[in-house]
C-alpha cells in the first residue's frame, strides 16, 4: 500500500473531539493507525474499535485508550444488537417462546431452548414426566451444539490471528453439525425444536446412522486442530499469557465456562447441578491452570472430545418411545412432520381432526391459539452452555403467556472481563483476549 | 372486590396447590371471565367470574433439606453483626424446590456480603439481577431478583427486594459482586430501578437518550399490522390474547 493511500485511509477515521483525537478503525489498518499514533504528540489516544470491526465478533464496540502499543484502558460498548426478545416473549404463548429464545445466542440455539423449557417445566411441575427419549435427544442436541459453538470459537479466533486454515477447518466441521441439525429439526439454525414438555418431533429415519457417521468423522478431524495449532510456535506465542484472568478475577466478575475452567476450577453445571440426566453420562470436565487464551483453546478442544463421548452414549441409549409429555393439556396434539416445504403438521393428524374428531379439533385449536396456563410463581434454571452458565429466570402470573423471562447470558457476563484482560496489554492482544471469551452479540444484547 | 376475594382462599388460583404451612402471597393481578380473553364476548355464562392471582406466599419452618441450614446460618451471621434478622428478612418463600429470601432493600448489601463471606454460606457467584414489574403489587411494584450460587456448597438461593414505583431505589451490590455492574445497568435500563452506589449507572442496551423503561408493563411493545393473503394481522400486542 502506498503512503498516500495509507494516509487517506487513516485520516478518514480521525476526528477531533473535546477528549482529544479519536481514530476509527475499520479493519486491516493497524499499520496506519500505529503510524498516525507515533507521529502524533497527543499522549492519550482513544481508539474506537467497532461496532463494525471484523474481529469484534459481531457488533461489539471496543473503546481503547492507548499509549503507543499499550492499552491503558478498555471499555466495551454493547447494545447494537438488542432486539427486545425478553419483552416480545411476554406477548406470545409459553410454547411460542422457544421460537424467540432460540435466536438469542444464535450459535447455541439448543441451549437457549433447553434452558427456557427446563424453567417452564419447573414452573409447571412436570420435570419428572419428561420422557426418557426426549431427555436423551436434548442432551444429544446440546452436545452437538457444544461442538458447533466451540468450532466457531476456534475458527473465528484463528481467523482473527490470520490463521485462515483453522477458520476453513472450523467452518468445514461446523457444516457437518449444521447438516445434522437440518436433518433432525429441518433447520440449520433457529430451530425451536425443544418445546416445553419435550420435543417438537422425533428423530427422522436415518438420524442415528448419520450421527454415528458424524462421530467417526469428527474423531478423525479433531486431531487436525491439534496438529495445526497446539504445538504451533506462532499460535502459542500469540495466545500464551494473553487474556489473563485468574480465579479470583473470574469469581468477582462472574465469569463461567471455559474462562473459569482455564483458571483451574472444575465447575461445570452438568456435574454440579445435573439436568436432563447428565449425571448418568460418563464424561470428564477438563481444566487447565494457565488462566490464558491458550488454555481456553485447549479446553475447548478437549470439551469437544468429551462431547463426542456423550453423543456416542446418547445414540447407544436411544430406545423407541414418546418425545412429549403425556399430559394432553400441555403437549401439542400433533407431531410435526417434515413436508415437502420443510416443516408442517402431520397430514394424518389433520385428516383425523378435520374429518373424524370435532373434540380433537377444538382441543388442537385451543392449545395452539390460547396455549396452556402455568401456575403463578418463579423459577430459575441454568444449563452449562459452551460459554458458561446460561441461566433463565421465568415468572408466571398464571396466564398463558410468560409474565417475565430473563436470560442470564454467559456472553454478556463474561464480556465484562474484557477490561480486566486487556488493560496493560498490547493492542493486538485485545483481539485474542476477546476471542478467548467467545462472546456472541446475539446473546449479549438479546 | 380484590380484597374480598383475597381473603377467600377458594377464589385464589394459587392457593389450591400450596402446602398447608404456606401463607397466601401478594396479589399481583385479577383475572375476569372464563377464558381470560380481553376482547370479544364471553358466551360461557361465566363472564362475571373474578379470580385473584397470588404469588406463592411465605413458608414457615421447617423449609426442608439444606434450606434450614442456610436460613439458620444467615440469621445467626446477621445477629452477630448486630442486626435483627426479622428486620432484614421480610419473609422466606420455599416454592418449587427453590429458596427465596425477601430482603428489606436497605439491608441488601449487608445480606449479600454476609452470604458471600460467611464460611458456612459462601455464595461466591452472583448470576446477576433480573427485574420484574408488578403494577398491581401496590407499594412494591418493582422487584429486583438476584440468584446467588455457592460453588463451595453446591447451592443456589434467590434474593428478592422490592421498591415502590414512586421511589425506585435499591442499593447497588457491585462492591460485593463486581459482576453485577452490567446486570444492574441492564435492570436500570429496562425497569428504571436506580441502584444507589453503582459506579456508573447508565443505559447499556438502549440508546443513551432513550425515553422510558421498555420492560415495564405499561410500556407498549409496538409493532405494525401486517397484511397476509388479504387479511390484516394486527401487531402482536393488539392480537386477541388470553390471560
For the segment A364-381, the average pLDDT, to the nearest whole number, is: 88
**How does the average pLDDT of chain A come out, rounded?**
86
For residue A276, which of A310, A316, A321 has the smallest C-alpha distance?
A310
Q: How far apart are CA B214 and CA B204, in angstroms?
A: 13
Sign of the CA dihedral with B16 first, then B21, B27, and B29 last:
negative
The cell 414452573 sits on which residue? A123
Q: How far apart are CA A234 and CA A95, in angstroms?
A: 49
Sign of the CA dihedral with B12 first, then B13, B14, and B19 last:
positive
Q: Which letter does DSSP use for residue A205 in this model?
A: T
Q: Write out pLDDT tens, residues B57-115.
A: 888 888 888 998 999 999 999 999 988 888 889 899 998 889 999 999 999 999 999 99
The answer to whether the Cβ–Cβ distance between A376 and B96 falls below 8 Å is: no
pLDDT at B8 over 50: no
Task: Find the CB nearest B182 among A382, A393, A416.
Answer: A416
Q: Write out pLDDT tens, residues A328-345.
A: 888 876 666 665 555 666
pLDDT band, very low/low/confident/very high, at A266 (cuts 50, 70, 90): very high
Task: Find the CB nearest B127 among A82, A272, A408.
Answer: A408
Residue A93 has φ and ψ, to the nearest 5°, of -75, 170
Q: What pLDDT does B13 receive?
A: 43
The answer to whether the Cβ–Cβ distance between B132 and A123 falls below 8 Å is: no
b/e map of A189-198 (b: 16 or more CB within 10 Å)?
A: eebbbbbbbb
A347 or A168: whose pLDDT is higher?
A168
Domains and CATH numbers, chain B: 55-235 (3.30.460.80)
Angstrom CA distances, B83 to A8, A362, B79, B88, B103, stand at 66, 58, 5, 7, 13
pLDDT band, very low/low/confident/very high, at A270 (cuts 50, 70, 90): very high
Q: Write out pLDDT tens, residues B150-195.
A: 999 999 999 999 999 999 999 999 999 999 999 999 999 999 999 9
The answer to whether the Cβ–Cβ distance between A370 and B127 falls below 8 Å is: no
**A35 Cβ under 8 Å from any chain B Cβ:** no
A195 or B5: whose pLDDT is higher?
A195
The answer to whether the Cβ–Cβ distance between B177 and A254 falls below 8 Å is: yes
The answer to whether the Cβ–Cβ distance between A91 and B241 falls below 8 Å is: yes
Q: How far apart are CA B202 and CA B198, in angstroms?
A: 9
Angstrom CA distances, B55 to A120, A241, A279, B29, stand at 16, 50, 32, 10
Strand segments (E) across A365-409? 377-385, 388-396, 404-408
The answer to whether the Cβ–Cβ distance between B95 and A125 falls below 8 Å is: no
Angstrom CA distances, A147 to A113, A151, A218, B111, stand at 17, 6, 10, 40
Task: Find the CB nearest B205 among A82, A401, A408.
Answer: A82
**A270 Cβ under 8 Å from any chain B Cβ:** no
The answer to whether the Cβ–Cβ distance between B182 and A378 falls below 8 Å is: no
pLDDT band, very low/low/confident/very high, at B229 (cuts 50, 70, 90): confident
Report ipTM for this prediction. Answer: 0.85
What are the DSSP calls for B158-171, one per residue? Answer: EEEEEE-TTS-EEE
Q: What pLDDT does A176 receive?
A: 93
What nine digits make up the cell of B101? 429470601
Q: How far apart are CA B116 and CA A383, in angstroms?
A: 22
The answer to whether the Cβ–Cβ distance between A389 and B181 falls below 8 Å is: no
pLDDT band, very low/low/confident/very high, at B10 (cuts 50, 70, 90): very low
Residues 201 through 230 of chain B touching chain A, CB cutoff 8 Å: 203-207, 214-215, 221
The answer to whether the Cβ–Cβ distance between A252 and B132 falls below 8 Å is: no
The answer to whether the Cβ–Cβ distance between A86 and B215 falls below 8 Å is: yes
Closest chain A CA to residue B56: A377
Distance from CA of B54 to the nearest CA of A (A): 7
Helix-then-strand count for chain A, H and E: 19, 12
The answer to whether the Cβ–Cβ distance between A391 and B147 falls below 8 Å is: yes
**A397 Cβ under 8 Å from any chain B Cβ:** yes
Task: Find the CB nearest A377 among B56, B131, B154.
Answer: B56
Residues 61 through 120 of chain B touching chain A, CB cutoff 8 Å: 95-98, 100
The answer to whether the Cβ–Cβ distance between B221 and A88 falls below 8 Å is: yes
Helices (H), A91-225: 97-101, 109-124, 132-161, 164-185, 207-225
**B12 Cβ under 8 Å from any chain A Cβ:** no
Cβ contacts below 8 Å, chain A against chain B, sum to 139
**A404 Cβ under 8 Å from any chain B Cβ:** yes
| Torsion angle of the four alpha carbons B119, B124, B130, B134, in this order, in degrees rounded to the nearest 10 | 0
Q: Which of A94, A251, A260, A372 to mutate to test the interface with B (most CBs of B within 10 A)?
A: A251
Question: CA end-to-end span of chain B, whole Å?
Answer: 19
Q: How far apart are CA B195 and CA B148, in angstroms?
A: 18
The answer to whether the Cβ–Cβ distance between B130 and A406 falls below 8 Å is: yes
**A445 Cβ under 8 Å from any chain B Cβ:** yes
Angstrom CA distances, A14 to A7, A69, A430, stand at 11, 18, 21
The answer to whether the Cβ–Cβ distance between A254 and B133 falls below 8 Å is: no
Distance from CA of A364 to the nearest CA of B (A): 16
What are the DSSP calls for chain B, one per residue? Answer: -HHHHHT-GGGBTTGGGS-TTPPEEEEEEEEESSS-BSSS--TTS-TT-EEEEEEE----S---TTHHHHHHHHHHHHHHTT--HHHHEEEEEEETTEEEEEE-GGGHHHHHHHHHH-TTT---EEEEEEEEE-TTSTT--EEEEEEEEETTTTEEEEEEEEE-TTS-EEE--TTT-TTHHHHHHHHHHHH--EEET-TT---SSS-TT--S-TTSTTS------EEETTEEEPPGGGS--B-
pTM score, whole prediction: 0.87
Chain A residues with CB under 8 Å of B128 CB are 254, 391, 408, 413
The answer to whether the Cβ–Cβ distance between A377 and B95 falls below 8 Å is: yes
Q: Write out pLDDT tens, residues A23-67.
A: 766 666 677 777 776 776 666 777 777 676 666 677 888 888 888
Distance from CA of A274 to the nearest CA of B (A): 11
* Paired residues of B157 in beta bridges: B148
Task: Find the CB nearest A125 among B54, B96, B127.
Answer: B96
For residue A62, which of A431, A410, A442 has the smallest C-alpha distance?
A431
The cell 495466545 sits on which residue? A239
Amino acid at each position: 500500500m502506498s503512503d498516500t493511500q495509507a494516509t487517506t485511509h487513516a485520516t478518514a477515521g480521525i476526528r477531533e473531539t473535546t477528549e482529544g483525537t479519536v481514530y476509527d478503525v475499520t479493519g486491516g489498518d493497524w499499520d496506519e493507525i500505529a503510524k498516525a499514533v507515533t507521529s502524533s504528540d497527543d499522549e492519550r489516544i482513544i481508539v474506537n474499535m467497532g461496532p463494525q470491526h471484523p474481529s469484534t465478533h459481531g457488533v461489539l464496540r471496543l473503546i481503547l485508550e492507548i499509549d503507543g502499543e499499550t492499552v491503558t484502558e478498555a471499555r466495551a460498548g454493547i447494545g447494537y444488537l438488542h432486539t427486545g426478545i425478553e419483552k416480545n416473549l411476554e406477548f406470545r404463548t409459553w410454547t411460542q417462546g422457544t421460537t424467540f429464545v432460540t435466536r438469542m445466542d444464535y450459535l447455541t440455539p439448543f441451549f437457549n431452548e433447553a434452558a427456557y423449557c427446563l424453567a417452564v417445566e419447573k414452573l409447571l411441575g412436570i420435570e419428572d414426566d419428561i420422557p426418557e427419549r426426549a431427555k436423551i435427544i436434548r442432551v444429544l442436541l446440546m452436545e452437538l451444539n457444544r461442538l458447533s459453538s466451540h468450532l466457531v470459537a476456534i475458527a473465528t479466533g484463528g481467523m482473527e490471528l490470520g490463521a485462515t486454515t483453522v477458520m476453513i477447518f472450523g467452518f468445514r466441521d461446523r457444516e457437518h453439525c449444521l447438516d445434522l441439525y437440518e436433518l433432525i429439526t429441518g433447520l440449520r439454525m433457529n430451530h425451536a425444536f425443544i418445546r416445553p414438555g419435550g420435543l417438537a418431533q422425533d428423530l427422522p429415519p436415518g438420524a442415528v446412522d448419520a450421527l454415528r457417521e458424524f462421530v467417526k468423522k469428527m474423531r478423525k478431524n479433531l486431531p487436525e486442530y491439534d496438529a495445526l495449532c497446539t504445538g504451533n510456535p506462532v499460535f502459542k506465542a500469540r495466545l500464551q499469557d494473553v487474556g489473563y484472568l485468574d480465579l479470583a478475577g473470574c469469581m468477582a466478575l462472574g465469569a463461567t465456562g471455559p474462562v473459569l475452567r482455564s483458571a483451574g476450577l472444575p465447575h461445570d453445571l452438568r456435574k454440579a447441578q445435573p439436568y436432563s440426566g447428565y449425571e448418568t453420562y460418563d464424561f470428564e470436565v477438563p481444566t487447565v491452570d494457565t488462566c490464558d487464551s491458550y488454555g481456553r483453546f485447549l479446553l475447548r478442544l478437549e470439551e469437544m472430545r468429551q462431547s463426542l463421548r456423550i453423543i456416542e452414549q446418547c445414540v447407544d441409549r436411544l430406545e423407541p418411545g414418546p418425545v412429549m409429555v403425556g399430559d394432553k393439556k400441555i403437549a401439542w396434539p400433533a407431531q410435526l412432520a417434515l413436508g415437502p416445504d420443510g416443516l408442517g403438521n402431520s397430514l394424518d393428524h389433520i385428516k383425523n381432526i378435520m374429518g373424524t374428531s370435532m373434540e380433537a379439533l377444538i382441543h388442537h385449536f385451543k392449545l395452539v391459539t390460547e396455549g396452556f396456563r402455568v401456575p403463578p410463581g418463579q423459577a430459575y434454571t441454568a444449563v452449562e452452555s459452551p460459554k458458561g452458565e446460561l441461566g433463565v429466570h421465568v415468572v408466571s402470573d398464571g396466564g398463558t403467556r410468560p409474565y417475565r423471562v430473563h436470560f442470564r447470558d454467559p456472553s454478556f457476563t463474561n464480556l465484562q472481563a474484557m477490561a480486566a484482560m486487556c488493560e496493560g496489554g498490547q493492542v493486538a492482544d485485545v483481539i485474542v483476549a476477546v476471542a478467548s471469551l467467545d462472546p456472541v452479540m446475539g446473546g449479549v444484547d438479546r | 372486590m380484590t380484597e374480598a376475594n383475597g381473603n377467600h382462599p377458594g377464589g385464589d388460583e394459587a392457593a389450591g396447590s400450596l402446602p398447608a404451612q404456606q401463607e397466601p402471597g401478594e396479589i399481583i393481578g385479577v383475572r375476569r371471565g372464563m377464558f381470560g380473553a380481553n376482547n370479544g364476548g364471553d358466551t360461557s355464562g361465566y363472564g362475571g367470574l373474578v379470580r385473584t392471582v397470588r404469588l406463592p406466599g411465605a413458608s414457615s419452618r421447617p423449609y426442608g433439606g439444606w434450606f434450614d441450614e442456610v436460613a439458620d446460618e444467615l440469621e445467626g451471621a446477621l445477629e452477630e453483626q448486630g442486626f435483627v434478622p426479622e428486620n432484614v428478612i421480610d419473609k422466606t418463600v420455599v416454592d418449587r424446590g427453590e429458596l427465596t429470601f425477601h430482603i428489606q432493600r436497605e439491608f441488601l448489601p449487608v445480606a449479600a456480603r454476609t452470604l458471600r463471606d460467611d464460611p458456612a454460606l459462601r455464595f461466591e457467584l452472583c448470576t446477576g439481577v433480573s427485574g420484574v414489574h408488578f403494577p398491581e403489587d401496590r407499594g412494591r411494584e418493582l422487584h429486583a431478583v438476584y440468584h446467588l450460587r455457592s460453588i463451595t456448597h453446591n447451592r443456589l438461593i434467590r434474593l428478592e427486594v422490592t421498591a415502590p414505583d414512586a421511589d425506585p431505589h435499591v442499593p447497588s451490590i457491585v462492591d460485593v459482586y463486581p459482576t453485577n455492574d452490567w446486570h444492574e445497568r441492564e435492570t436500570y435500563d429496562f425497569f428504571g430501578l436506580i441502584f444507589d452506589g453503582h459506579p456508573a449507572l447508565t443505559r447499556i442496551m438502549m440508546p443513551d437518550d432513550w425515553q422510558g423503561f421498555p420492560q415495564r408493563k405499561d410500556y407498549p411493545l409496538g409493532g405494525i399490522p401486517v397484511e397476509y393473503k388479504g387479511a390484516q394481522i394486527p401487531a402482536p400486542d393488539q392480537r386477541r390474547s388470553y390471560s
